Amino acid sequence: MSEKLGRQEFNRIMMQHQRFVYRLAFTVVRSMEEADEVTQEVFVKLYKHIDRIEKPEAIKAWLARTALSTARDRLRWLKVRSWFTHSSRDADDVGTPTASPERLAAANERTRIIGAWSAAHLSPKERTIFQLRYGEEMTIAEIGDALSMNENTVKTHLYRATNKCRKRFASEDTHDETE
C-alpha cells in the first residue's frame, strides 16, 4: 500500500481483525488485561507501519506475526518485572465487579482450553500453530506466511500438537469411564 491509509479504512481493518489479534495475544500471555495491552500495541504499530505492507491481503499475516512477537516481548517484560516486584499475577483477572457474565464465561472457556493445552504439554510453537489452525481457521500456507515458516514445518508442529491433544483427551475419556 503505497499511500497512507485513511482513518476510516484503518478503523475497518481494526474492527475486522481486533478479535483475531486479541486471541493470538491471549494464547501467549494468558491474561485478559495483558492481551488487551498487546492488541492495542499491535494496532498502534500497524498505524505507524501500514505503508510497509505492500498488499492488502498481507495485513492478516503481518498482524499475526506482530501480535505473536509483541505478546512474547510482553511476556518477557512481565517476567522481568515480577523478578523485581516479587508479585504474581492471576492468569485471568475476572474477579472484578465490572466483569460481565459474558466476559466471565469467555474467560472460563479460555481457561479450560489453556488447561487442556497445558495438560497436553504443547510447546509454545505447537500451541500457537494449533490456535492459528483450529482457533483462527487459517490455512497451512497462511500460518507459514504469518510465522515465516516452511509449510512442512508448520505441518510437523500441527501434527505433533494434534497427537498430543488426542492422547491427552483419550486418556481423560478412559479415566472418566472408569469412575
Written as tens digits, the pLDDT of the chain (179 aa) is 435 566 788 889 999 999 999 999 998 888 899 999 999 999 999 988 888 887 888 899 999 999 999 999 888 888 776 665 543 344 444 444 456 777 777 666 666 665 665 666 888 888 888 888 877 788 999 999 888 899 999 999 999 988 888 887 676 555 555 55
Q: What is the pTM of this model?
A: 0.60
Predicted confidence at residue 49, as pLDDT, reads 86
Could you list the residue range(s) of the whole structural domain that residue 30 is in? Answer: 1-95
Instruction: Please check whether residues 2 and 90 belong to one and the same domain.
Output: yes
pLDDT of residue 92: 44
- Residue 140 resides in a domain: yes
In a domain? residue 102: no
Q: Identify whether residues 5 and 70 lie together within a single domain.
A: yes
Is 63 a domain residue?
yes
Mark whether 75 and 9 lie in a shared domain. Answer: yes
- The number of distinct structural domains making up the chain is 2
The answer to whether the beta carbons of residues 111 and 62 sit under 8 Å apart is no
Residue 50: inside a domain: yes
Residue 31 in contact with residue 91, Cβ under 8 Å?
yes
Taking alpha carbons only, the member of 67, 74, 28, 25 closest to residue 46 is 67
pLDDT for res 1 = 43
Q: Are residues 169 and 88 in the same domain?
A: no
Q: Residue 113: its pLDDT value, please?
A: 61
